Structure 1
Amino acid sequence: MQSTAVAGSAETSADLPPGAPFVLSRPHGTVIADGIRTGFDSARDAAAALKSGTVTSVAGALAFDPSHPAALVAPQTLRHHPGSWAPRLQTIPHVRAGTSVPPEDEHLARVAAAIHVLREPEAALHKVVLARSVVLHAEEPLHPHTLLARLVANDLGGNGFSVDLGSAGTGWSGRHLVGSSPEVLIRRRGDTVTCHPLAGSAPRHADPEIDRQTAENLASSEKNLREHALVVDALRASLEPFCTELDIPDRPTLTSTPQLWHLGTPVAGRLRDRSVTALDLAVAVHPTPAVCGTPTDAARTLIGELEGDRGFYAGAVGWADADGDGEWMVTIRCAQIDADGTTVTAYAGGGIVAASEPDDELAETTTKLGTVLAALGLPR
């Protein structure tokens, strides 16, 4: 059976079906999935079904490790609304902080170990992204859309996503991934392909002059520029086989969230083959060095040794329709809500290069965790 893509009005975009398996709010539009016709735990199976016409849209999440199950659905309908979601805020249940995973001193030790590897004279690894999480406990069940509304309201661009992870199979039923990512992994509209990788960051400051100086320092930081260049180079290599032309600026520009300044590079290309869908492109470029490292295999191996399975953190969330159009975001600034609704795990990571310092990297993850913590009414 086929799913259907429909356009919605701005007035209805504030209303989400309680069981909507997928919501993506972006400044230029909101996409909402209603119902589930078919679930897929394989991105390639979902892409094949989309190309064959068996389904007319696909939405959901890709895991960090491409070999692990995805959480994708062909919805009954995929509704598009102009502009970002306009949520009606509801009361957040009281949430208390639990444990850090790993403890902060262990994360520092992991970062130090990675830096040691990166600084070896013949190091094969150039960058690795290491992450940690904080487990939070809600006194009453937290609905994913309630957290999503807070995240969207707090974000200047109205960015936010919520994904039902049940299609990934055993152990994922009832779990949801909710976040507010500023990073576009890939967007396809017609034969135009765009993305906006972010790598290299610095915390915002309440004092405008200090904030301005922080941004200027980031823009000239050799360490952060090097980290960013690794991401851009990898994306260029991944996209060149699919594009007849690529427009990539020589230097990144500054972009910001309420918590952080980022170095970002807007990338645009012209698709060589119109049969290549947004989902195909997402599979081809994920994971980028922005969330994994470079070379990819070496970085992923080290992450597995140090962190274990990341699940859907640092994966991708998005959609694709029958025309092949769609948009996929990198799943950062996010949290997983367990099936009982009372356990929330927030994630944050940072790119480690040879010039990194462990204390600075720990502070960066603390700042990034602030996106979810602020939405839950907790201090950073």
Structure 2
Amino acid sequence: PALRTDPLVALPTEPPATAGGWKVREAPSGAEYAASVEAAVARMRSGEFDKVVLARTLELSTDSPLDLPAMLQRLARRDPRGYSFAVPTGAGRTLLGASPELLVSRHGNRLTANPLAGSTPRSADLAEDVRRAAALLESAKDLHEHAVVVDAVHKALAPFCTELDVPERPTLVRTATMWHLSTTVTGELAEPATSALELATALHPTPAVCGTPTGHARDVIGELEPFDRGHYTGMVGWSDARGDGEWVVTIRCAEAEETRSGGGQLRLFAGAGVVADSSPEAERAETGAKFRTFLDAVGVDR
């Protein structure tokens, strides 16, 4: 059955077969990433632009074959309320992940979008975890970052709707590794023929994965990120012949590739929204926490 309705999703998974057998390389390094954030913050404080999402990667390699179904099951069981996916992207290559962020869904005349922006890593200590969640709800920096994204979603969807409900304040959603500020936007379509895919392409890319202004932020990403994002921060989902569908943002993901020697490689991605009040060290720590979604699924402890 669908992963989210599979009763086995509540059960613990077997430990990864390749645990301890991975070689890990940062690209860029944590220090280089922090320097890029610092450079972006300086440019924003000078008034050049408002927000940019900067990402980094981890490259994992192993001599053992990749067990992608097992990885997907572990991702789904760690975050059963997320959107787990595995999509072939070429010969011997697969994009897989567990996204927490619904870009948009359409069922009949009703649409739903759930932008996430503003995050903090979770803690294994319950009291500290609650403190971090409460602090996120009151963080001026994160509330501003979130408001920028929600405003962009509102403006993109409004032309398609006769009514659109946008809550004034965000709530919290949690994954196994992160707390996120969340707003659930709902609306009624003006034209029943408007498909989920049309809505998704009108929204993408939101400031949650690019920045604002969009064009300028995309240029800054090209200048400061020393890699090609590929399918990362794109969108993955489905639409049917009636136009119903569900599209999510391709985050908390990795590109998997089989090697000729019989082993495998994983390229993990993680990004953070950078605004003028951002701390380079805090954004580096946030991307490190986001990597944990996939590192835990493959048994890498770093």
The answer on 1:93 being equivalent to 2:15 is no
Q: In the alignment, what sits opposite 2:183?
A: 265
Which structure exhibits the higher relative contact order, with contacts defined as CA atoms closer than 8 Å and separated by 6 or more residues?
2
Report SS of the residue matched to 1:291: coil
Q: Among 206, 223, 228, which residue is 1:309 paired with?
A: 228
Q: Among 139, 143, 149, which residue is 1:221 paired with?
A: 139
Question: 1:65-97: per-residue Cα shift (whole Å, max 9, x none)?
Answer: xxxxxxxxxxxxxxxxxx258469565334414
**Distance change in 2, residues 1:253/1:100 (3 Å):** same
Q: In the alignment, what sits opposite 2:276?
A: 354
Alignment of 1:4-15 (within 5 A): 10=1, 13=2
Alignment of 1:102-181 (within 5 A): 102-120=28-46, 123-157=47-81, 159-166=83-90, 173-181=91-99
CA distance in 2, matches of 1:84, 1:349: 30
**Do the aligned partners of 2:83 and 2:248 also contact (CA within 8 Å) in 1?**
no
**Do the aligned partners of 1:196 and 1:267 also contact (CA within 8 Å) in 2?**
yes
The answer on 1:191 being equivalent to 2:109 is yes
CA distance in 2, matches of 1:158, 1:105: 31
CA distance in 2, matches of 1:333, 1:85: 23
CA distance in 2, matches of 1:158, 1:182: 5
Q: Give the aligned CA root-mean-square deviation in angstroms.
A: 1.7
Unaligned runs of 5+ in 2: none
**Distance change in 2, residues 1:275/1:315 (3 Å):** same
Question: 1:316-355: per-residue Cα shift (whole Å, max 9, x none)?
Answer: 1100000100101111111110143611011100000000
TM-score normalised according to structure 2 size: 0.93
**Do the aligned partners of 1:85 and 1:158 also contact (CA within 8 Å) in 2?**
no
The count of corresponding residues between Structure 1 and Structure 2 is: 294
Alignment of 1:212-361 (within 5 A): 212-307=130-225, 308-340=227-259, 342-361=264-283
Question: 1:160-182: per-residue Cα shift (whole Å, max 9, x none)?
Answer: 1101112xxxxxx3211110111
In the TM superposition, what is the alpha-carbon distance from 1:297 to its structure 2 partner? 0.6
TM-score normalised according to structure 1 size: 0.74
**Distance change in 2, residues 1:379/1:98 (3 Å):** same
CA distance in 1, matches of 2:175, 2:219: 31
Structure number having the greater helix percentage: 2
Unaligned runs of 5+ in 1: 1-9, 14-24, 28-82, 167-172
CA distance in 1, matches of 2:23, 2:182: 32
CA distance in 2, matches of 1:143, 1:125: 43
Report SS of the residue matched to 1:109: helix
Flag as ranges the 4+ runs of structure 1 deviating above 3 A.
Answer: 84-92
AA aligned opposite 1:219: L
Report SS of the residue matched to 2:150: helix
